[in-house]
């Protein structure tokens, strides 16, 4: 089994599942997260928050909901609220791509679907590659940025606190 951890010392990102931390030498520790794309940017979230990834099913529109709520979808007979992650994160609305996927996560004992433009990969990077508290312009979601990871010289991934973003969106 590989030595990996979920975002170091970021308990607020982890759902309390301490089994996600695997012991290892400090120089062998890796960060593990799921990458997804919105627009031209890649984001990363705690891998253990995502319960499933599915193709976007048909959406049933629901009247008088917040603009970032697209409606509800049915996943194996269960009704799931679908959120437009682009709107939630302050991006412009665009046509749905063929690569679009829905991330299913649990928040407050409720299953939520997050529509994203694409999934990149599960990334495992050395702890040393994690840059905590980067300097960012003030914006609606910058408070939820945990850090940045640069897995290689061409790639920058913004790590976000997805659980807090969703809790805020559901208020």
SS3 letters for 54-73? ECCCCCECCCCCCCCEEEEE
Question: Which pLDDT band, with edges at 50, 70 and 90, does 116 fall under?
Answer: very high
Total structural domains within the chain: 1
> Per mean pLDDT, which of 21-35, 65-79, 80-94, 116-130 is the most reliable?
65-79
pTM of this prediction exceeds 0.75 = yes
pLDDT of 14 above 70:
no
Is the pLDDT at 19 greater than 50? The verdict is no
DSSP 9: T
The CATH number for 93's domain is 2.40.50.180
Per-residue 3-state assignment (H helix, E strand, C coil) for 80-97:
EEEEEHHHHCCCCCCCCC
Question: What does the pLDDT average to over 64-86?
Answer: 94
- The mean pLDDT value for 114-132 works out to 89
Q: Cβ distance 69 to 83 under 8 Å?
A: yes
Tokens standing for 34? 């799921």
Q: Using CB atoms within 10 A of its CB, is residue 67 exposed (0-12), middle (13-18) or buried (19+)?
A: exposed
Domain residue limits at 27: 1-171
For residue 12, what pLDDT is reported? 39
Q: Extract the tokens encoding 168.
A: 């805020």
Rounded mean pLDDT of 96-108?
Answer: 91
Please state, rounded to an integer, the average pLDDT across all residues of the chain: 80
């Amino acid at each position: 089994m590989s030595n990996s951890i979920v975002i170091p010392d970021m308990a607020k990102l982890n759902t309390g599942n301490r089994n996600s931390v695997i012991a290892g030498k400090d120089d062998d520790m890796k960060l593990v997260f799921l990458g997804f794309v919105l627009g031209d940017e890649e984001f990363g979230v705690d891998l253990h928050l995502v319960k499933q990834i599915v193709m976007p099913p048909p959406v049933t529109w629901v009247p008088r909901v917040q603009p970032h709520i697209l409606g509800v979808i049915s996943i194996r007979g269960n009704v799931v609220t679908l959120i437009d992650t682009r709107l939630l994160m302050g991006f412009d609305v665009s046509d749905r791509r063929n690569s679009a996927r829905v991330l299913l996560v649990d928040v407050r004992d409720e299953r939520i679907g997050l529509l994203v433009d694409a999934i990149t990969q599960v990334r495992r990077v050395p702890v040393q590659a994690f840059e905590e508290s980067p300097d960012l312009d003030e914006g609606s979601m910058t408070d939820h940025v945990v850090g940045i990871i640069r897995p290689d010289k061409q790639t920058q991934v913004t790590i976000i606190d997805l659980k807090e973003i969703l809790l805020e969106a559901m208020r």
